[in-house]
Structure 1
Amino acid sequence: MSLSVLLASAPSPGPGGSLDEAAEQAGNAAGWVEENWSTWLSTGLRILLIVAVAITLRYLIRRALTNLIDRMNRSAQAVQGTALGGLLVNAERRRQRSEAIGSVLRSVASFLIMGTAALMILGAFKINLAPLLASAGVAGVALGFGARNLVTDFLSGVFMILEDQYGVGDTIDAGVASGEVIEVGLRVTKLRGDNGEIWYVRNGEVKRIGNLSQGWSTAGVDVTVRPTEDLEQVRKAITAAAETMAKEEPWAERLWGPVEVLGLDAVLLDSMTVRVTAKTMPGKSLGVERELRWRIKQALEDAGIRMIGVLPLQADGESSADPTAAMAAPSAYASATSPQSMATTPIPPPTNLNKQ
């Protein structure tokens, strides 16, 4: 049978049947909506409440952390121009440390709040979170193994900043490099070397830190004089020079204790060494050592004390020139019987030659 014959023989729906079906479908839809609208409304309100609480809580926590960091920076700037600020507070170091700590705390707070809110929203939709959490755990482990160096650098940087191991302006020895800290980051620390080069040191590569700018430093000077000098006169000259230096600026601020003459550090046949030390401001020991050497040398010269390396004074009328300085060393070729002269004498030709 053809398609036209089948269509012609099929009963056509009447107008009454189509209206009844439409009404029945509309009633079923209305009933389904009426049964579920309360669930939809409660779920939507719960989601809106979760989002509102998360956004509000995130804003309040970040605002509190920002105000705390600003207060710390203002307290550092308040003492920057004072003597206490010059000795104990580095404003740039304090600012970078507080900003780094604030950035870490804000990021952690945002991650925890928004992550918890996302999980609560998924739970409101009746989604099983167990597979999702398991997948996230596996992905986290894989990421941790793949980027373990990055994670190590980040965690090391966080602990270095929290423990205040060093900061901007400090002179440190990090093992792999040494110099002045110019920037502290969560992953990399920038150092300015002695020759002006910039070292980028990964925080995870630092196994030890020697901070030369915390606490105090020690300036040490060795004074080498002749063994025939009077030790009491040497001590008096060094003490007088040190007391004069301690009363003058800026050395009065850089010296944190009296200059001490510890005594003889070494005694040899032709010299003896006197050890002098002083406690100084952190990072100022080299400048104090140079100034101490300068003043001690002047004081010893004024006292007539000779140091090793200084030529003795010549008496009046005595010539300091060596009379044998212009004389040449004797030559082995001056003697005709010396082996060198005989070796250079030409061999005479033979007198009698046999003719062939």
Structure 2
Amino acid sequence: MTNAASWVDENWQGWLAAGLRIVLILVIAVVLRIVVRRMITKLIARMARGASSAPIGRALDGLLVNAERRRQRSEAIGSVLRSVASFVILGTAALTILSVLQINLAPLLASAGVAGVAIGFGARNLVTDFLSGVFMILEDQYGVGDVIDAGVATGTVIEVGLRVTKLRGDNGEIWYVRNGEVKRIGNMSQGWATAVVDVQVGYGEDLDRVREVITRAAEELAKEEPWNEVLWEPVEVLGLDSVTGDMMIVQVQAKTMPGKALSTARELRWRIKRAFDRAGIRIVGTAVQAVPAQEPPPDPSAAVAPPSAMSNPTSPQAQSVEPLPNVPPTGTPPGGGPATK
């Protein structure tokens, strides 16, 4: 009992100093974590406001960012940065506390290294998906509302995650695409889109008149809503794309809002057709030859005649038509001599 009391009396100052150091380390770690997380939150909010207030010219050259896309991108980046900051700060504090308690960290670090290697080999696909998702979000390769071609699937992005991206297909299906499986991405909603229309007219049509009619129809389209916002530049008649023996192909091009190329091309074809009808310009194309209706093949059973009763010599029909026997005339003796009176 005396030895224990003396041992406590000798070491209580060290224990008190160690406890105070541990408490100080924890307080510093918690305060630093709170400060860093708030700084990250403010930085992400400032990035979102800067993207929303970008100049019009810059927005046209870059990508159009909507509110939902900015929100999800900001949340994803903020979540990653906050998680990394918390892991670094708390991990450093834990190692510092263990060193204050005079615990040998060499075996612990060696075991953690071996466990990390084993987990890395077992979950390499998960790590690949996570890192790919982080870089996709940081580089802003796509966002919510974009129409992308990810190679393995094509559709509209409805959710962007660190591991999986959700796409809505053309038929309404939802594709879950792992970020690590995406080797190339074609974003069809960035910058601007191009609507191309090929107009086929007769070989003898006046090209100047054709250009004038198309230009007038395009100008009328650009003045109406909502096409005045969809069209970003005046519709341009590029000229003759090809000439054949009976027709000419005039190519028309329009720069549109991303994702509106197909609808603009359909509306432009509609208006050009109506304008050509009013101007008397004939739209020609490859003539479709009517295929004559083929008669059904003859029935093989109809070509075979039914069996005849005449083919059987013992039938009543065959016997009725058999020639009569050679009977001598009346008055002629059987021997053939002259008849006697």
What's the TM-score, normalizing by structure 1?
0.77
8 Å Cα contact 2:52-2:65 kept in structure 1: no
* Amino acid of the structure 1 residue aligned with 2:185: I
Match of 1:46 in 2: 21
Asked whether 1:212 is paired with 2:212, we answer: no
Counterpart CA distance in 2 for 1:331 and 1:113 is: 87
Match of 1:322 in 2: none
Counterpart CA distance in 2 for 1:173 and 1:165 is: 12
Counterpart CA distance in 2 for 1:287 and 1:125 is: 70
When residues 107 and 277 of structure 1 are mapped into structure 2, their CA distance, relative to the original with a 3 A threshold, is same
Counterpart CA distance in 1 for 2:139 and 2:165 is: 15
When residues 239 and 32 of structure 1 are mapped into structure 2, their CA distance, relative to the original with a 3 A threshold, is same
Give the fraction of aligned pairs with identical amino acids, expressed as a percent: 69
**Following superposition of structure 1 onto structure 2, how do residues 196-211 of structure 1 map, counting pairs within 5 Å?**
196-211=172-187
Counterpart CA distance in 2 for 1:168 and 1:107 is: 23
Counterpart CA distance in 1 for 2:146 and 2:11 is: 67
Please report the RMSD computed on the Cα atoms of aligned residues, expressed in angstroms: 3.0
Counterpart CA distance in 2 for 1:331 and 1:146 is: 68
8 Å Cα contact 1:76-1:91 kept in structure 2: no
Match of 2:201 among 211, 221, 225: 225
What residue ranges of structure 2 are gaps of 5+ in the alignment?
Answer: 316-341
Counterpart CA distance in 2 for 1:194 and 1:135 is: 50
* Amino acid of the structure 2 residue aligned with 1:33: V
Counterpart CA distance in 2 for 1:121 and 1:295 is: 76
Match of 1:56 among 19, 25, 31: 31
* Amino acid of the structure 2 residue aligned with 1:47: I
Cα deviations by residue, 1:94-138 (Å, 9 ceiling, x for unpaired): 000000000000100000111111111111111111111111011
When residues 329 and 89 of structure 1 are mapped into structure 2, their CA distance, relative to the original with a 3 A threshold, is closer
SS of aligned partner of 2:167: strand
When residues 30 and 285 of structure 1 are mapped into structure 2, their CA distance, relative to the original with a 3 A threshold, is same
CA shift at 1:222, angstroms? 0.9
CA shift at 1:38, angstroms? 2.0
> How many correspondences in the alignment?
303
When residues 347 and 185 of structure 1 are mapped into structure 2, their CA distance, relative to the original with a 3 A threshold, is same
Asked whether 1:157 is paired with 2:133, we answer: yes
Q: Larger RCO: Structure 1 or Structure 2 (Cα < 8 Å, ≥ 6 residues apart)?
A: 2
When residues 352 and 54 of structure 1 are mapped into structure 2, their CA distance, relative to the original with a 3 A threshold, is closer
What residue ranges of structure 1 are gaps of 5+ in the alignment?
Answer: 1-24, 312-324, 334-339
Match of 1:353 in 2: 313
Asked whether 1:283 is paired with 2:243, we answer: no
What's the TM-score, normalizing by structure 2?
0.81
Match of 1:238 in 2: 214
